[in-house]
A and B are shown apart, each in its own frame.
Chain A
Amino acid sequence: MKILVALDTQKYSRKIVKDVARLAQNTLADIVFLGVQAETAEPAEELTLALTKYQQDVYSYFSSDELPYGDLSQAKWQKEDKGDWLISAKGIKEFSLRIRSGGVAKQVVQVARDTACDLIILGCDEEFGCEWDGEMNVPLRIAEDAPCSVLVIKKSLAVKQIVSILDQSVVSQDALEMVNQLVTLYDAGLKIVGVQEKGGGKKDQIEQRMVELLRYYNEREVSGWVTLIDSEQVKKYVTNSSKEAIVALWMGNKQSLIKRLFSQSMVDKLLSTSRSSVFILR
């Protein structure tokens, strides 16, 4: 697994480092820390110092004999391309710090593609929406265009439940596996919520899919609950669930009912109002 973590110098970025470290400990993932800055000739010192500090914080969660990453302490920033700098070290796994110049959302999505990452993680302000260095709706715009799932962490709560909202469209194996890793990470229960369109058009199909998923989790000894709700309930259900649980929304393809129900503004509202984290599955 390769995880791309978008970071800046703000409090919402500092707060997610602990969650990233725990996920790194569990998964031994390759990690890329990405900072994005305005176009300048050199990487900004404030940003390089922040990324280095976050990396050292992650390393500190490992004992020296358990650290899967290489030593970055002597590494120097290398210019890869115009507005693109990199430090990287490989142990059993690779840890990279990267700085790109340009718009935050655009660069995060581009690096996610370039590095073939499996998950993007970023923080989001608890109180003032999801502005990133003057750019509005950054998490939403990343989620819209990302080639992989996106975890937006608002507050590091003791998560007891992952609420995974699915519809009639095909759920990718990658998305299921990502939910599995989160359930394991937080030792959380899993609630699978099926959404049917008003009038129950595809109820049988959704129920069958949910039974299959329940069987999948039971075989893997994961406690799972399933429930079915009408499409008109979904916004309220998601908003309520997001108060205590991580909400995982399947928004994988154009056929996705949830994608249709959740307009961009709704996802943005969810990101703004959720107390916990929001997981956009791909």
Chain B
Amino acid sequence: MSDKQTSILILDDEPIVSKRLQPALEKKGYEVESFTRSADAMARIAERQFDIVVTDLKMEGVDGMEFLTRVKEQFPKTEVIVITGFATMATAKESFNKGIFDFLAKPFKLGEITSVIASAEAKIKES
């Protein structure tokens, strides 16, 4: 991977998540696009690839599991991080089986997710 900016797509139907996360990640030099509707995020990934996708699971319309499945099918090298307020072992297992990078139950501190994103970025750069 070159020294280009690492791109991140955030999908969470709760606007507060992007509101907290996007400025913090941009400050760290990432290129970030945020979505609160999965249909919009789905349309965006049809247009371009992101290095990292951070997605919620429980959402109206296309849920996060369907979204991450689509992302991994289309872009196997994209690292996906699941964030969920309704965590279960079954959803964690299913997510890892689909090749996600990490699974974070909400609530989490900003430092926790930025650290996971940094690890995902390091993995991408090593490959």
Contacts and interface: CB of A to CB of B under 8 A. Distances in A.
A92 B102 contact: yes
A29 B104 CA distance: 7
Given A26-B87, A184-B87, 16 more contacts: A1-B105, A1-B106, A1-B112, A2-B108, A25-B89, A26-B105, A28-B105, A66-B93, A92-B102, A118-B108, A174-B107, A180-B106, A181-B85, A181-B105, A183-B86, A220-B85
A181 B14 contact: no
Interface string A113-150: 00010100000000000000000000000000000000
A30 B104 CA distance: 10
Contacts of B88: 26, 184
A66 B14 CA distance: 30
A233 interface: no
A222 B60 CA distance: 13
A173 B87 contact: no
Interface in A174-200: 174, 176-178, 180-181, 183-184
Contact of B104 (A1, A26, A221, A222): A1
Interface string B86-97: 111100110000
Interface in B82-126: 85-89, 92-93, 102-109, 111-112
Nearest to B17: A173
Contacts of A221: 58
Given A28-B103, A173-B16, A220 B86 contact: yes
Contacts of A27: 87, 105
A177 B109 contact: no
B7 to A, nearest CB: 24
Contacts of A174: 107
Given A66-B93, A92-B102, A173-B14, A28 B107 contact: no
Contacts of A177: 85, 106-107
A177 B109 CA distance: 12
14 contacts: A1-B106, A1-B107, A25-B89, A26-B87, A27-B105, A28-B92, A116-B111, A118-B108, A118-B109, A176-B85, A181-B105, A219-B13, A219-B60, A220-B58
A180 B86 CA distance: 6
B58 A181 contact: no
Interface of A: 1-2, 25-30, 66, 92, 116, 118, 173-174, 176-178, 180-181, 183-184, 219-222
Contact of B112 (A2, A26, A178, A220): A2
Nearest to A22: B89
B87 to A, nearest CB: 5
Contacts of A30: 112
Contacts of B86: 180-181, 183-184, 220, 222
B115 to A, nearest CB: 11
Contacts of A25: 89
Contact of A2 (B16, B93, B109): B109
Contacts of B108: 1-2, 118
Nearest to A179: B85
A173 B107 contact: yes
A26 B87 CA distance: 6
B87 A181 contact: yes
Interface string B11-28: 001101000000000000
A116 B14 CA distance: 23
